[in-house]
Amino acid sequence: YNSVRSISLTELQEGDLVFFNTTGGGVSHVGFYLQNNKFVHSGSSTGVTVSDLTDPYWSKHYLKAGRLEKSENLAFFSKP
Protein backbone atom coordinates (compact mmCIF):
# COMPACT_ATOMS: atom_id res chain seq x y z
CA TYR A 1 0.00 0.00 0.00
CA ASN A 2 2.73 2.45 0.94
CA SER A 3 5.09 1.22 -1.80
CA VAL A 4 2.85 2.05 -4.75
CA ARG A 5 2.55 5.38 -6.50
CA SER A 6 -0.94 6.72 -5.80
CA ILE A 7 -3.04 7.36 -8.88
CA SER A 8 -6.55 8.68 -9.42
CA LEU A 9 -9.42 6.49 -10.59
CA THR A 10 -9.29 8.24 -13.97
CA GLU A 11 -5.66 7.11 -14.41
CA LEU A 12 -6.30 3.40 -13.80
CA GLN A 13 -4.69 0.97 -16.24
CA GLU A 14 -4.83 -2.80 -16.44
CA GLY A 15 -2.77 -4.33 -13.64
CA ASP A 16 -2.99 -1.38 -11.26
CA LEU A 17 -3.86 -2.18 -7.66
CA VAL A 18 -7.07 -1.04 -5.96
CA PHE A 19 -7.18 -1.00 -2.16
CA PHE A 20 -10.22 -1.24 0.11
CA ASN A 21 -11.05 -0.98 3.80
CA THR A 22 -13.80 -3.54 4.37
CA THR A 23 -13.27 -4.03 8.11
CA GLY A 24 -12.78 -0.51 9.46
CA GLY A 25 -9.14 -1.10 10.35
CA GLY A 26 -7.20 0.09 7.31
CA VAL A 27 -6.35 -1.86 4.16
CA SER A 28 -8.09 -5.22 4.31
CA HIS A 29 -8.67 -6.08 0.65
CA VAL A 30 -6.86 -5.54 -2.64
CA GLY A 31 -7.64 -6.26 -6.27
CA PHE A 32 -6.08 -5.90 -9.71
CA TYR A 33 -7.73 -3.45 -12.08
CA LEU A 34 -8.88 -4.92 -15.40
CA GLN A 35 -10.69 -2.26 -17.48
CA ASN A 36 -14.03 -0.44 -17.68
CA ASN A 37 -14.24 -0.08 -13.86
CA LYS A 38 -13.82 -3.84 -13.36
CA PHE A 39 -11.30 -5.43 -11.00
CA VAL A 40 -10.43 -9.00 -10.06
CA HIS A 41 -10.04 -10.04 -6.45
CA SER A 42 -10.44 -13.06 -4.22
CA GLY A 43 -12.31 -13.66 -0.99
CA SER A 44 -12.25 -16.65 1.33
CA SER A 45 -15.96 -17.30 0.83
CA THR A 46 -16.36 -16.16 -2.79
CA GLY A 47 -13.13 -17.28 -4.46
CA VAL A 48 -11.87 -15.31 -7.45
CA THR A 49 -14.43 -12.71 -8.54
CA VAL A 50 -14.68 -9.84 -10.99
CA SER A 51 -16.46 -6.81 -9.50
CA ASP A 52 -17.25 -3.24 -10.51
CA LEU A 53 -15.68 -0.26 -8.76
CA THR A 54 -18.95 1.64 -9.14
CA ASP A 55 -20.84 -0.98 -7.11
CA PRO A 56 -22.08 0.80 -3.95
CA TYR A 57 -20.30 -1.67 -1.64
CA TRP A 58 -16.90 -1.26 -3.30
CA SER A 59 -17.16 2.49 -3.84
CA LYS A 60 -18.02 2.92 -0.14
CA HIS A 61 -14.95 0.90 0.96
CA TYR A 62 -12.48 2.20 -1.66
CA LEU A 63 -9.24 3.63 -0.23
CA LYS A 64 -6.89 4.29 -3.12
CA ALA A 65 -5.45 3.05 -6.38
CA GLY A 66 -1.77 2.52 -6.91
CA ARG A 67 0.76 1.54 -9.50
CA LEU A 68 4.04 -0.25 -9.00
CA GLU A 69 6.86 1.31 -10.94
CA LYS A 70 8.38 -0.98 -13.56
CA SER A 71 11.65 -1.49 -11.68
CA GLU A 72 9.71 -2.44 -8.52
CA ASN A 73 7.53 -4.83 -10.53
CA LEU A 74 10.52 -6.65 -11.94
CA ALA A 75 12.27 -6.98 -8.59
CA PHE A 76 9.10 -8.10 -6.82
CA PHE A 77 8.15 -10.79 -9.32
CA SER A 78 11.60 -12.07 -10.30
CA LYS A 79 12.61 -15.61 -9.42
CA PRO A 80 15.35 -16.11 -6.81
Give the Cα separation of 1 and 66 in Å (integer). Answer: 8
Domains and CATH numbers, the chain: 5-77 (3.90.1720.10)
Q: What is the pTM of this model?
A: 0.83
- What pLDDT tens digit does each residue of the chain (80 aa) get? 778 899 999 999 999 999 999 999 899 999 999 999 999 999 889 899 999 999 999 999 999 999 987 654 455 555 55
- Model pLDDT, residue 80: 54
CA-closest candidate to residue 52, choices 18, 15, 77, 13: 18
Residue 74: predicted pLDDT:
52
DSSP state of 69: -
> Can you give the pLDDT at residue 1?
77
Do residues 12 and 67 make contact, with C-beta atoms less than 8 angstroms apart? no
pLDDT confidence of residue 48: 97
